[in-house]
Structure 1
């Protein structure tokens, strides 16, 4: 974050609504000549005002800490330019030429015939799965729990994806539910959320998550077996809930 910015004049100009979700609105704009995305956490009228304010501030703090912690261990995240504590906004670097992993996989599979990938498509997916496993493994090795590890919160740099000799470059975003915890349970939940996001959308490539786990295992070398045991327990709990309804 820029420490010498004059907070009174630190405003992202030319803001345009980019996306709205259940928790926040995203705007694009310009922050001192830099392309910027502004994340605004808006008030939830169905919540008690004091509870709403507390949860909003907690998630803003979690977002900032998650971004910074991941950046400090070499994981690509957007730079933070300015935090509006009164407006509940975070002004961040706009990452260009990126797709969510969800969209990128969808684009690759669109080119498949009868749902069967050719060699080039399969190799790209394998490379992506390996890099996802490495990224999540590095994050967990540092004790960082994402809290919402879906394929929409992992971005891939699309500028060089056609070059099969270059590893995919990934970024992580949306850390509002992140925290620091070395428990195998929370790491297993992160992996389970990612697995569900993948298998529910891309059931025709069930091997993708297997490669993610293999790559994760090679990166998360401290206590990885305990995380996998917890993942199995969480899967079982999930199946039971599905059966019971």
Structure 2
């Protein structure tokens, strides 16, 4: 099937292709062999991560969180074939288009993002790579749909530390691309509280600890 696909991206863990799966636009993610690891270990880790990725997307969908539909998996070759999210923009692109003309709408979207992350964490789903490129927006302005993608580093953990790290990664991603809009993350945290009210205070304490460690690393270099 790879022969009929177009390579669009290669990261540290996988190659990303796009094409069609039985006439449906799709994305194929292929985790490649790591030659520096023992063959059996590499195969085992690849299969575990692929299973976690698929399980996270399915569990999110069961909780009403939009993720790509999984069409097919191939554990032996480390392949997931999933729905291609069409007519969508990344949150990063949406912020760029909205920050001047519609700041109010921007804060509403950020609050909604926080609610969804809170719901995710309330169900012990850790995304592992929450960035403004891994959250997509699609649909008309009156009915925007947020779609979370790239669960390649996801896992399941009822751990405030991991949830705080998830939020910290997103905060750093937003500040690196839009440092002038520091209020965006506050809107996300406001939404997060309503999505994960029971665990909110503990996660906020861990988030502050993670921030402090990040600042120390920056000072030390």
TM range (shorter): over 0.9
Structure 2 residue matching 1:223: 3-state secondary structure: helix
Give the equivalent residue in structure 2 for 1:114. Answer: none
Q: Which residue of 2 aligns with 1:208?
A: 184
Q: 1:241 aligns with which of 200, 217, 220?
A: 217
SS in 1 for 2:64: coil
SS in structure 2 at match of 1:29: strand
TM-score, length of structure 2 as denominator length: 0.94
Structure 2 counterpart of 1:123, from 93, 104, 111: 104
Which ranges in structure 2 are unaligned for 5 or more consecutive residues?
none
Structure 1 segment 14-93 matched on structure 2, within 5 A:
14-93=4-83
Compared CA separation, residues 212 and 167, structure 1 to 2 (3 A): farther
1:110-149 alignment, distance < 5 Å = 117=100, 120-149=101-130
Instruction: Report the counterpart of residue 156 of structure 1 in structure 2.
Output: 137
Instruction: Describe the SS at the equivalent of 1:203.
Output: coil
- In 2, Cα distance between the equivalents of 1:239 and 1:167? 38
Give the greater-gyration-radius structure (CA): 1
* Whole-Å separation in 2 of the counterparts to 1:107 and 1:44: 39
2:201 equivalent to 1:225: yes
Q: Check 1:214–1:189 CA distance in 2 against 1; reply closer, same or farther (3 A cut).
A: same
Superposed, which structure 2 residues align to 1:157-176 within 5 Å?
Answer: 157=138, 159-160=139-140, 163=141, 166-176=142-152
Q: Which has the higher helix share?
A: 2
Instruction: Report the CA distance shift for 1:222/1:180 in structure 2 as closer, same or farther (over 3 A).
Output: same
Aligned residues: 221
Could you list the per-position Cα deviations for residues 10-52 of structure 1 after superposition, in whole angstroms to 9, with x for gaps in the alignment? x577311122212111111111121111111111233333332
